[in-house]
Amino acid sequence: MKNTFSLFVRLLFTLTVSLYVSRVVLKALGVDDFGIYAVVGSVVTMLGFMTSALSTATQRFISYELGAKSTNGLVKTFSMAVNIHFILAVIILFGSEIIGLWLINSKLNIPADRLDSALIVFHLSLLTVFVNLVITPYNAAIISHERMGVIAWLSIVESLFKLGGALYLAASSDYDNLILYAVMITCIAVLIKLLNILYCHYFLKSIHFKLLWEQSLFRSILIFSSWSLWGGLAYVLMVHGVNVLLNIFFGPAVNAARSIANQVQGAILQFSTSFQMAMNPQIIKNFASSDFEQMKKIVIYGAKYSYFLLLIFIIPIIVETETILKLWLGDYPEYTIIFVQLTLAVVLIESLSNTLMVAMQATGKIALYQTVVGGLLILNLPISYYFLNSGSPPYITIIISFFISCLALVIRLFLLKKAILLDINEYFHKVIIRVSLVTILSIWVPIFIHFNYDEGIIRFLLVAFSSTLIVIIIYFAGLEKIEKNFLLEKIKMYIYKYKGNT
């Protein structure tokens, strides 16, 4: 809870800044340049998909060594992770330059007069991916040590730099704003990653790089990472590959709409990510110390609480999307409203899978899991192509993602039943039934307000205030008796403590 609070404080600050920055950048760049930046970013993310997968693998191995309390193993693991990341970063850099240039020059729908700028953005974005990949072990070490306060402060510093960059971008008229924005984002990313290194060097004495090579450890990390890479590639193609398809079929304006939806998604996900980031090392450490019952409790209750945390914010946003977009951006591209609403529905479903994914990674036995789930996720791309080529609207891609996410959740449950003896019936009754009941009960009041009041700030505030009722519904319909008793005891303890201090 302490780590979650640190990350939550970070969230309140970074979310406010990022929403304002998005408004400024959209106006400074315009819809087309904003869409070009989004689709080029998607190309780079696809080509640099290894970053996320390798970060997950590194966190798993470092957290495992911390749970096993092996100092020597920790140093070896960290050093080998740095070696592997550097080698793969170089390979990605050269391979991506070749493939990316071909995609941008031959396949993407980019106006001819903006092609040179798009290529510069591509090279700068690729440099950012290279730096992120090389420095990933340092960030993974901070998370594995559960130093979430550091993560919070680094995020706040990054947000301040982005705010300053956006204000400068809005005032600038002497440069190509698309290129200027890409330069600023790259410089900020490099600076933040260097701060990660400095923190690990001075404050995590057990984390330091030694020039060594251990073949068995290299093989273990590489095998685990290879399967994670397949899962990472599948997810990247599911999200960013579809963004490239949207560009090919509809052009940069639709990419801009999808990018805005992704920014809303990213802002909302920070609420649950803060909570999940504090849980993930605990899941892995409990597995390493063979405390499987505690591990399964975190998996089940963590999924439920993550969903509830998101639901409080998502229901008012889905109901009042149009009003929020007008207040936030003023003018916005076509399809933005439906993109935002459907994307947030996908976020709710995927929130139930996050602890399941971490639990599977903790076991280290992920070959079958990544093959099956990754294969399912990657189907999003060909299915989306089929529907888009048949004349379907662009938002069909998110509807497809929703159904694939639902099916992936079911498959993850059955695979974890075999891997850690997870009780599917227990998960169904404690998570699925509870979250479904709370969702059904929570949606009626905001919908009633939406259709019985005129559009405007008053209706928006009433719908937003109705989210407090969701908290009450969560308490009565979403929590078990033991959870209610625990919560009441904590509240009483703090009241008595406060009275004692006063």
**pLDDT tens-digit readout, 392-446:** 999 999 999 999 999 999 999 999 888 888 899 999 999 999 999 999 999 999 9
48 phi/psi in degrees, rounded to 5: -105, 30
Written as six digits, the tokens of 282 are 């605990």
Neighbour-count burial of 308, counting CB atoms closer than 10 A to its CB (0-12 exposed, 13-18 middle, 19+ buried): buried
The overall average pLDDT reported for the chain is: 82
Which pLDDT score is estimated for 283? Answer: 83
- Please determine, for residue 47, whether its predicted confidence score (pLDDT) is greater than 60: no
pLDDT of residue 289: 77
* Residue 440: exposure state from Cβ atoms within 10 A (0-12, 13-18, ≥19): exposed
pLDDT of 502: 56
For residue 38, name the pLDDT band (cuts at 50, 70, 90). confident
Report how far apart, in Å, the C-alpha atoms of 200 and of each of 60, 68, 193 are.
Answer: 18, 20, 11
Tell me: the pLDDT tens digits for 206-225?
777 777 888 887 777 777 76
Helix (H/G/I), strand (E/B), else coil: 331: coil
Question: Which two three-digit tokens encode residue 424?
Answer: 């599917």
State how far the Cα of 247 lies from the Cα of 264, in Å rounded to an integer.
20
- Round to whole Å and give the CA distance between 114 and 22: 21
- Rounded CA-CA distance 166/291 in Å is 48
Per-residue confidence (pLDDT) for residue 430, from 0 to 100: 92
pLDDT of residue 3: 54
pLDDT at 414: 92
Interatomic CA distance for residues 224 and 173, integer angstroms: 49
Residue 406 has which token pair?
A: 């639902």
Encode pLDDT of 356-401 as tens digits. Answer: 888 887 887 777 887 888 888 889 889 999 999 999 999 999 999 9
Rounded CA-CA distance 361/54 in Å is 12
Q: Kindly state the tokens that stand for 150.
A: 């550091």
HEC per residue, 42-57: HHHHHHCCHHHHHHHH
One-character DSSP codes across 254-297 = HHHHHHHHHHHHHHHHHHHHHHHHHHHHHHHHHHHTT-HHHHHH
Query: Domains of the chain: which residue ranges?
Result: 2-422, 424-502
Task: Write out the two tokens for 426.
Answer: 């227990």
Find, among 67, 41, 24, 56, the residue nearest to 164 by Cα.
24
CA separation for the pair 115, 206 (Å, rounded) = 47
How confident is residue 342, by pLDDT bands cut at 50, 70 and 90? very high
How many C-alpha atoms does 41 have within 13 Å on its Cβ side?
A: 19
- Does the pTM surpass 0.85? The reply is no
Contacts 24+ apart (CB under 8 A), 104-108: 104/40, 104/43, 107/244, 107/248, 108/39, 108/40, 108/43, 108/244, 108/247, 108/248
- Nearest-angstrom CA–CA distance, 482 and 388: 49
* Residue range 80-105: mean pLDDT, rounded: 83
**With b meaning 16 or more CB within 10 Å and e meaning fewer, what string describes 148-167?**
bbbbbbbbeebbebbbebbe
Beta carbons within 8 Å of 458's beta carbon, 6+ residues apart? none
Residue pair 109/27 in contact by the 8 Å Cβ criterion = no
pLDDT at 500 over 70: no
Is the Cβ–Cβ distance between 174 and 31 less than 8 Å? Answer: no
pLDDT at residue 11 tops 70: no
What's the rounded Cα separation, in Å, for the pair 269 and 353?
13
Using one digit for the tens of pLDDT, what is the confidence trace for 244-279? 898 889 888 888 888 888 878 877 776 666 667 667
Which of 23-27, 280-284, 307-311 shows the lowest per-residue confidence on average (mean pLDDT)?
280-284
For tokens 């007008």, what's the residue?
326
Name, in order, each residue with C-beta under 8 angstroms of 497's C-beta and a sequence gap of 6 or more.
Answer: none
Percent of the chain with pLDDT over 90: 17
Higher pLDDT, 381 or 498: 381
